[in-house]
Homo-oligomer: A and B are copies of this chain.
Amino acid sequence: MTLFDLARELNVSISTISRTLSRPEMVAPTTREKVLAAVKQFGFQPNEIARSLRTRQTKTIGIIVPDITNWFFGVIVKAVGEVAKSNGYSVLVCNADEDPTGEEHALNLLRERKASGIINCPMGANLKLWRSLKKTGIPVVELDRISGLEKVDAVVLDNEKAAEMAAAHLIGLGHSRIATIAGPQHLSNGRARLSGFQNALRKSSVPLPPDYVEFGDFRERSGHDAIKRLVSLRDPPTAIFVANSEMAGGAIGALRECKVKIPTQLSIVAFADARWARYLDPPLTVIAEPTEAMGRCAAELLLARLNSRSASHKLHMEVFPPELIVRKSTAPVRLAKARCT
């Protein structure tokens, strides 16, 4: 059913109906009633595709996340969806699978689909692509990570500080053999978390042998593998900082397999959602992020841009504070050896 059909049914013109739907006040009350009644009766729903083509706006905000399976991004997507919805927008979710190619694919999709704006968690895709997008005037806000793209709004965690807090906590517990499972260094948060960690150790003159820095890819498996290596070192660490929750899961699994006792033999603090971490064995000491607030913020930033096309608006870089939640996976140092059997 189209405007045309409905118009014929009511003996009015197409434009009258269209007007009734978009600017009711510009139509006579009597006809308005009549039209509205018919719309309801026939369950008429305007074709958004056609509308988008004509108005040249889709009222869609695209979001590209690395892993929709990760609770963090689930919350992000949900938060974005909520503010989008309450502003008459809908959300096109793209899962890029923590892969630059996936990000590019998603970006192209969003361009073709004429998304009004894009929220992106950069995975290292070709910057050129993003630059060319910016030229089209589509607003972008980066979330959780920053790609190096010039002049974009961004909302991130204070990752340096987060890592420092984690390291300081471990140092405060007397540890001096502290390792880390860092994230990919082509990601801004991976870098920041590592450098924050390094800074904290340096400040306290705690040595950091190269062996003690493992690099993962933010997926579970890599956390697992890293632990296997760390634990079979000649001088294994007594404490570990893991740079994201997925890898933390893998790490804990590996520690189980190696029968390494937490926190007796090894203290562990990780980036993680505040949700399951506290039910773990033992309850995990974590760095928590204000995830939902970050998602909302990103969406609001984007909508602000969308609503005031005056590009004059100054750039926003929102930095959210991390929180250290101390639970039972960290304890004062005891120089027991942890070695994988």
Interfacial residues of chain A within 46-64, with CB under 8 A of chain B in the complex:
46-50, 52-53, 58
* In the assembled complex, A281 has its CB within 8 A of some CB on chain B: yes
For A280, what are the chain B residues with a Cβ–Cβ distance below 8 Å?
A: 276, 279-281
For A46, what are the chain B residues with a Cβ–Cβ distance below 8 Å?
A: 112
* In the assembled complex, A261 has its CB within 8 A of some CB on chain B: no
Cross-chain contact of A48 among B71, B85, B95, B112 (Cβ < 8 A):
B112
Task: Judge whether A77 and B53 touch: CB under 8 Å.
Answer: no
* In the assembled complex, A31 has its CB within 8 A of some CB on chain B: no
From A69, which residue of chain B is reached at the shortest CB distance?
Answer: B74
* In the assembled complex, A332 has its CB within 8 A of some CB on chain B: no
Given contacts A49-B49, A280-B280, contact A68 B78 (CB under 8 A): yes
Task: Judge whether B68 and A90 touch: CB under 8 Å.
Answer: no
* In the assembled complex, A113 has its CB within 8 A of some CB on chain B: yes
* In the assembled complex, A6 has its CB within 8 A of some CB on chain B: no
* In the assembled complex, A219 has its CB within 8 A of some CB on chain B: no
Task: Judge whether A68 and B68 touch: CB under 8 Å.
Answer: yes
Task: Judge whether B58 and A49 touch: CB under 8 Å.
Answer: yes
CA distance A190 to B70 in the complex (A): 25
* In the assembled complex, A252 has its CB within 8 A of some CB on chain B: yes
Interfacial residues of chain A within 80-105, with CB under 8 A of chain B in the complex:
81, 85, 90-95, 105
* In the assembled complex, A337 has its CB within 8 A of some CB on chain B: no
Shortest CB–CB separation between residue A54 and chain B, in angstroms? 9
From A48, which residue of chain B is reached at the shortest CB distance?
Answer: B112
Cross-chain contact of A253 among B252, B253, B279 (Cβ < 8 A):
B279
Task: Judge whether A90 and B90 touch: CB under 8 Å.
Answer: no
Cross-chain contact of A112 among B47, B69, B77, B249 (Cβ < 8 A):
B47
Task: Judge whether B68 and A74 touch: CB under 8 Å.
Answer: yes
From A57, which residue of chain B is reached at the shortest CB distance?
Answer: B49
- Bitwise interface map of A from 162 to 176 toward B, beta carbon under 8 Å scored 1, else 0: 000000000000000
Given contacts A47-B112, A132-B43, A280-B281, contact A78 B69 (CB under 8 A): yes
CA distance A94 to B69 in the complex (A): 15
For A275, what are the chain B residues with a Cβ–Cβ distance below 8 Å?
A: 249
For A95, what are the chain B residues with a Cβ–Cβ distance below 8 Å?
A: 77-78, 81
For A32, what are the chain B residues with a Cβ–Cβ distance below 8 Å?
A: none
For A43, what are the chain B residues with a Cβ–Cβ distance below 8 Å?
A: 132
CA distance A279 to B105 in the complex (A): 35
Task: Judge whether B114 and A49 touch: CB under 8 Å.
Answer: yes
Cross-chain contact of A279 among B69, B94, B252 (Cβ < 8 A):
B252
Task: Judge whether A112 and B45 touch: CB under 8 Å.
Answer: yes
Task: Judge whether A93 and B113 touch: CB under 8 Å.
Answer: no
CA distance A71 to B249 in the complex (A): 14
Q: A68-B81, A276-B276 are in contact. List 10 more A-B contacts (CB 8 A).
A: A46-B112, A48-B112, A48-B113, A48-B114, A50-B53, A90-B92, A90-B113, A252-B279, A276-B279, A279-B281
